[in-house]
Every structure is written in structure tokens, then in C-alpha cells.
Amino acid sequence: MTMQKPFAITLDPGSSLANKTGSWRTERPVYVDRLPPCNAQCPAGEDIQGWLYHAESGDYEAAWRKLVRDNPFPATMGRVCYHSCEGACNRAKVDEAVGINSVERFLGDEALRKGWALPAPAADSGKHVLVVGAGPSGMSAAYQLRRLGHRVTVYEAGPFTGGMMRFGIPKYRLPRDVLEAEMQRIIDLGVTVKLNTKVEDLAQTLKEGGFDAAFLAVGAHIAKRTYIPAKDSSHILDAVAVLRSMEGEDQPMLGRRVVVYGGGNTAIDVARTAKRLGATEAIIVYRRTREKMPAHDFEVEEALQEGVMVKWLSTITQANAGELTIEKMALDAKGNPQPTGEFETLAADSLVLALGQDVDLSLLDRLIGLEVKNGVVQVDPNTLMTGHPGVFAGGDMVPADRNVTVAVGHGKKAARHIDAWLRGATIEAQPKHAPATFERLNPWYYSDAPKTMRPQLDIARRTSSFDEVQGGLTEDNALFEARRCLSCGNCFECDNCYGVCPDNAVIKLGPGNRFAINLDYCKGCGVCATECPCGAIEMVAEEV
């Protein structure tokens, strides 16, 4: 949370005030700011504690405006982010983590409902930036660059904005009206988006368009393949194609018995989609155990609730018309799956391969200076600039975890460095505050307040429609959830220090300005630091 720094006050030694105790001290209290674990964990770089501070006071528009400084897609991210921030939340050691993702979704939905507009761009810089790809990373960069006053043109090979948020995430997780509304808000800032425009030759596009810089954010749309002996009559598809076809008028023909080969979130999404398309059996075949499955556990659990079955420690060795040959696996001493020579057959009308995706990098063939390794573009980790000056990259194109939150963070980070590069400047990394650990908190002040769970669609409707599975919080729920934040490491003006000081040495500076210490009267007893709920006061040794 960013607030005005407090300061110490020392009265004139000639003051008429009596009972001074300052000379007794060996230590003095100092107000500090620490880095809350939620902020430290967020790949999008959100000031989570900062916007929760506004939300818990009921000022939802201020909270939303604080949030969209870093992430322009709160309604979308409130649905598809895997909220690693909650895994780091100190509140979990009191009862349960704050439902950060739930409050983010509430703020995003509230903004769409009330028509809140993004902040207007800065004055025109005279610079023109090309963004390749209208997915989360590309549109995040476009938004931040436009805010900084640059002209931005986005080239998108597909017919819609959204990238893998649209073509890789089913509608039951992300309704398309929500996605489109948040994309349109960015376009309304003056960002030009050219759909159905694939960049075949980046070097030529940069030259002909007169662009001053570029950000590459091409999604991983190419499905990885594996060799499975199969007869011509076998019906084998790839997961990306199945999910992409759901955006068109003609839905994929998968049949009644669908087998999905893979263990990631995409495999889960395809199996759940198959159930909604009428499959009586949707079976995931995965060569490892559930503990090793890369799909998120809550998604696996939701799939199992919907009737999706999983064959653990299994691999597909052959595909014939109407059936698959499955070999059972066993874990060796190192925990790696090994073939056992035991086989079984599995009835299947179709086999969907969900073995990961690659990025089409053919647009870079004529660009000098770029390094490609293991199918991704190598970039400076501090700036995201490639080996070609003025060309930056992020999202699926670079070495990183592939998820929407990381992609949004890349877009924001790249935009800042593109702006600096266009101005002939560099951005120096600022030192981070020390972490706000749970041990520094005073949880005695917090009563149990379990996390508010979002409502879910009933199972019957989940498996027979593409209606959104996860509901949102009400205003009352959102307010309650925001108020569960412990404000780890940062003063939120609870007045504890003011109330417990035995020497009246704590001075209130007014709303938003926190407190100061009158060092003439503070004897350094440390009660204020001990009783601070959020660990925002530190006792430091007096200088001799």
C-alpha cells in the first residue's frame, strides 16, 4: 500500500511541556512499510493490498481504479486467474486466505455494470508502437502504452480479440460478453486493432508501417503431437482445435465416448467441454499420478464432480476404430512412470490430444539479432527486449509460466520499458520493501472470519449447458471479504499505537497521513510496536 510516510517529531528543548522521557530510551519506534505477500506473489504486479484498502471502505470505484493501473481485465481475471496471491496470504494462518480473486471479480463486474471508463491517455508522444497479438499480454501492453500517450496498432491473426483467453478458456469459465466488454474498453482509449491480419514478416511490417517499436505477444496456438500408431478410421483431434471450434457456429463432433490424452488444464477443459456436448463418457488418460498432474487441483475436482473420469498411470499405445490400447504404468524408485507390459482396451469414438502447445515463430525469420531457444524467444529478463533493438516480447513467446496473469504482467512490464526506450532512457529497478511475514503480525486482534465461498451452478446445469459455473459475490459479501485483509506490514490507521502509548507520544496526523512519534516523550517501551496489528512499527537502536 502506498501512503504518505510518517515522520518523527522532536519538540523544542525549551518547550514548557513537562515530564519529558526521551532521554530514557535505548530504542525508538519507527513506522515502516513492508511488502505484503499477496503483492509479492502477483505475476501481474497488482497492488492488491492497495485496492483492498479502498474496497474495505466501500469505495469500489476507487478500488477498481487502483486495480486497473496494473491490470485492465479485473472481471476476466476474477474468473480465470489461479490466484497464487491467496496461496501466499498471511490470513490463511489465522483461518482462511482472503478471497482476493472473488473481490477482484466483484470490482470488475461492478465496473462493467456501472460503465466506469479507463483513465484517459496522456498527451500524444508522437511515437507509434506495433503489438502483435490481441491476447492478454498484447492488449495489456496496448493499454499501458496508450495510457503513456503512444499510438498503438494491434495486429491479430484471428477474427476476435482475446487470444487464448477466448480460444483456450471455455465459456463456462469465461463468458464472452465479459471478455469482449473489457477488450472494448481498451479499444475505446484509441487503440487500433486490425483483426484477421497475420504478420508474416515482422521486419517488413515494421518498415512498411513506420513503427518505432514493437511488442510481440503471439499465443501458443499450435498443438504438440506425439506418435500413436493409428488406423485411418481413427478419429484423432487436438485440444486447441476443439476449443477453438467452440467459438464458431459448428461445434466439434466428438461422439459419445471421448478420451483426452494429457494432464494439464487444457485436458480438463476439453473433457468438461465434451460432457457439455453430450458425451456420456469423458475420460482423461494421464501417465502420472494426481499429485504430479499439472492441472490445478480445483479444476480437477470440478471435473470429477461433473462426471469426468481419469485413468491415472496410463499411456495410449495404439488407436483403432472405436477403441484405444492403454498400457498401465508403474512408478520406479525415483517416482517416474515406467511401462509395465500390461494392456487393456478402452472404447472411444474420438481421441483428443492435449499435450501442450507451441508458438508460431515464422514471423521472425528475417529479423536480425533474435535468439530462439526451446521454441521461445530469448529476452532480457529485466526489460523483455529481444536481441533486436526496439522489439520486445512476452506471454507465451518467452521463457515463463503460461497463464493469463503472467501474460498481463509481461504486457505492463514491457510497456514501461518500451516507453523508456522510446525516450532514450532506462528504468532502474527499485529496491523492494522487506517482506511482511506472519511472525510480525499481531493476530490477537483478529477474530475468526472464514472466507466467503462463491456460489456454483448445480451439477445438472453444469453438464448440460455452457452457463457460467462459478458465481460472484454480492456487495455485502465483497465488503466482508475485503475487510478480512490484515494489511500486512502497512499502517491502516487503526489507532492502536495512539491508544496504547503510556506517554501520549503518538501524534495523529489526520486521515491518510498516519502517525508521528514525539521523541521528547517516547521512552522506547515498545508497546506500540508490540500492539501494532499489522507489524508496521519497528524498534531500532538509538545512535550513541
Question: What is the mean predicted confidence (pLDDT) over 512-520?
Answer: 93
Cα–Cα distance between 307 and 309 in angstroms, integer?
6
Question: What is the mean predicted confidence (pLDDT) over 252-277?
Answer: 95
- For residues 370-382, one letter each, b for 16 or more C-beta atoms within 10 angstroms of the residue's C-beta and e for the rest, the string is beeeeebbebeee
Within 210-332, where are the H helices?
A: 239-245, 265-276, 297-305
Question: What is the mean predicted confidence (pLDDT) over 508-519?
Answer: 93
Whole-angstrom CA distances from 186 to 7, 46, 312 are 40, 18, 43
Do 257 and 346 share a structural domain? yes
**20 confidence band (pLDDT: 50, 70, 90):** low
**Which DSSP string do the residues of 448-488 spell out, in sequence order?**
--PPPPPPB--HHHHTT----SB----HHHHHHHHTT---T
Q: Judge whether 462 and 172 are in contact, CB under 8 Å.
A: yes
pLDDT digits (tens, 9 = 90+) for 299-326: 999 999 999 999 999 999 999 888 999 9
Angle, alpha carbons 268-314-256 (nearest 5°)? 50
Q: Judge whether 289 and 312 are in contact, CB under 8 Å.
A: yes
**9 confidence band (pLDDT: 50, 70, 90):** very low
What's the helix, strand, coil split of the chain in %, to 5?
A: 30, 20, 50
- The pLDDT of residue 23 is 67
Question: What is the mean predicted confidence (pLDDT) over 166-180?
Answer: 96
Do 106 and 71 share a structural domain? yes
Do 282 and 350 share a structural domain? yes
324 phi-psi bin (left φ>0, alpha ψ -120 to 50, beta other): beta
Do 268 and 330 share a structural domain? yes
| DSSP conformational letter for 335 | S
Q: Judge whether 396 and 361 are in contact, CB under 8 Å.
A: no
The range of the structural domain enclosing residue 178 comes to: 128-221+359-422
Does 336 fall in a domain?
yes
Of 183, 173, 197, 176, give the one whose Cα is nearest residue 101.
173
pLDDT higher than 70, residue 522: yes
Cβ atoms within 10 A of the Cβ of 486, count?
A: 26
3-class DSSP assignment, residue 285: strand
**6 confidence band (pLDDT: 50, 70, 90):** very low
Do 346 and 279 share a structural domain? yes
Q: Which of 323, 356, 389 is the last residue of a domain?
A: 356
pLDDT higher than 60, residue 4: no
Does 213 fall in a domain?
yes
Helices 100-114 and 475-482: crossing angle in degrees, nearest 10, is 140
Q: Judge whether 359 and 375 are in contact, CB under 8 Å.
A: yes
**18 confidence band (pLDDT: 50, 70, 90):** very low
- The pLDDT of residue 446 is 77
- The pLDDT of residue 279 is 95
**266 confidence band (pLDDT: 50, 70, 90):** very high
Do 102 and 204 share a structural domain? no
- The pLDDT of residue 543 is 78
Cα–Cα distance between 387 and 389 in angstroms, integer?
6
| DSSP conformational letter for 439 | G
Do 264 and 335 share a structural domain? yes
* Residue percentage of the chain with pLDDT more than 90: 86
CA atoms within 13 A on the CB side of 292: 12
- The pLDDT of residue 430 is 86
Question: What is the mean predicted confidence (pLDDT) over 208-235?
Answer: 89
Which pTM does this prediction carry?
0.91
Does 429 fall in a domain?
no
- The pLDDT of residue 544 is 62
Does 430 fall in a domain?
no
Does 376 fall in a domain?
yes
Do 239 and 197 share a structural domain? no
Q: Judge whether 170 and 275 are in contact, CB under 8 Å.
A: no
Question: What is the mean predicted confidence (pLDDT) over 233-242?
Answer: 87
**21 confidence band (pLDDT: 50, 70, 90):** low
Does 433 fall in a domain?
no
pLDDT digits (tens, 9 = 90+) for 56-109: 999 999 999 999 999 999 999 999 999 999 999 999 999 999 999 999 999 999
Cα–Cα distance between 225 and 55 in angstroms, integer?
46
Q: Judge whether 189 and 146 are in contact, CB under 8 Å.
A: yes
Residue 318 class from Cβ within 10 Å (0-12 exposed, 13-18 middle, 19+ buried)? Answer: middle
Does 123 fall in a domain?
no
Do 363 and 217 share a structural domain? yes
Cα–Cα distance between 28 and 516 in angstroms, integer?
12
- The pLDDT of residue 123 is 95
Of 84-88, 95-99, 219-223, 476-480, the one with minimum mean pLDDT is: 219-223
pLDDT digits (tens, 9 = 90+) for 189-207: 999 999 999 999 999 999 9
CATH code (residue 453)? 1.10.1060.10
Whole-angstrom CA distances from 201 to 207, 220, 370, 397 are 10, 18, 14, 16
Does 428 fall in a domain?
no
Question: What is the mean predicted confidence (pLDDT) over 388-417?
Answer: 96
Beta strands across the sheet bearing 213-216: 192-194, 151-155, 128-132, 213-216, 391-393
Residues 6+ apart with CB under 8 A from 88: 37, 38, 40, 41
Work out how many domains the chain is built from and give that number. 4
- The pLDDT of residue 449 is 86
Do 48 and 172 share a structural domain? no
Cα–Cα distance between 101 and 471 in angstroms, integer?
12
Question: What residue has cell string 472481471?
Answer: 75
Do 109 and 50 share a structural domain? yes
pLDDT higher than 90, residue 10: no
CATH code (residue 384)? 3.50.50.60
Strands (E), 348-381: 350-353, 357-358, 372-373, 376-377
Question: What is the mean predicted confidence (pLDDT) over 118-123?
Answer: 94
Do 379 and 299 share a structural domain? no
pLDDT digits (tens, 9 = 90+) for 413-466: 999 999 999 999 999 888 899 999 999 998 777 778 889 999 999 999 998 999
Q: Which helix (H) or strand (E) holds 236?
A: strand 236-238
For the chain, the average pLDDT equals 92
Question: What is the mean predicted confidence (pLDDT) over 280-303?
Answer: 95
Cβ atoms within 10 A of the Cβ of 95, count?
A: 14
